[in-house]
Structure 1
C-alpha cells in the first residue's frame, strides 16, 4: 500500500513535467530543488526513480533499498514543496507519515528473515 503513492506520483512527474516544474518554481524553498540540478531533469529523474523503487517496494524486492531510495527522493521534495506551504499542514504531515512507513521498511529487513516457528 505504501508504494502506491510513489507509483501515482511517478506518473504525475513523467506525464505532467511542466506542471511539476511550475510547482517547484512557485515553492518558497525552491532553492533546495536547484541544489540537485535543473528542475525539469530532476522531475523526470525522480519520476523514473519513484516508479522503479515503488515497483520494487510493491513486489517485495530489495525492500530496504527501495524504501531508502524513496526516502531519499521524498525528503528534498518535502523540504522544497511542503515546508514552505505552512498554511496547509496536511501535505507536510502526510509526507512525514509516509517517511515513517519507509523507515519501518528500512529498519525491518523482510528479505532476510529467519523463521522462528517451532
Structure 2
C-alpha cells in the first residue's frame, strides 16, 4: 500500500526538472531580499545586533557595520547567482559560510527560536544545493554539458 501511495505521489520527470530551478529561486529570494535589507535597514539591524548577548564577540571579529555591509553584498550577489544556477555550488557554499556566524551570533539568544530554526532549515537547503549542484535549467548544467 505504501508503495502505491509513493508511486501515486511521485512527480513526472518533466515536473521534477521544473522543481529544480523553482527550488533554487525560492531559496535564493530570502538572501536577495535579506541582503537588500542589510543596506535599507542597516541601523535597525545594527541595533538588533547590539542587543545580542554575543555583541562583544561580534565586535572582536570586526566592525559590525562593515560585517553587515559585507554579508549584504554576499547575500545579494550570490543569491542572484544561486537563482540563475551560475556557480551554484560556490554560491550555496559562500552563502552558507556567511549565514553560519549570523545565525550563531544573532539568533542564538532568548526569544529567537523561530528565526534560529528558520535559518537551520535554510542551511539544509543550501547544503543540498552545494552537494547536488544547480540541476535542470541551471547555467552550470548547460555550461558543463557544452564542455564535455
> So what's the TM-score if we normalise by structure 2?
0.71
What is the aligned length? 114
Tell me the SS of whatever aligns to 1:41: helix
Match of residue 97 from structure 1: 121
TM-superposed CA distance for 1:36, in Å, is: 3.1
Match of residue 60 from structure 1: 85
- Over the aligned positions, Cα root-mean-square deviation in angstroms equals 1.8
Match of residue 107 from structure 1: 131
Q: Any unmatched runs of 5+ in structure 2?
A: 1-25, 135-139
Q: Which of residues 56, 68, 71 in structure 2 aligns to 1:46? A: 71
Match of residue 69 from structure 1: 94
Q: Structure 1: how far apart are the matches of 2:80 and 2:97?
A: 16
Contact 1:33 1:39 in 2 (8 A): yes
Structure with bigger gyration radius:
2
Q: Any unmatched runs of 5+ in structure 1?
A: none
Superposed counterparts of 1:1-40, under 5 Å:
1-40=26-65
> So what's the TM-score if we normalise by structure 1?
0.88
Query: 1:6-52 CA distances to partner (integer Å, 9 max, x unpaired)?
Result: 01111110111111111111111223422431001111111111100
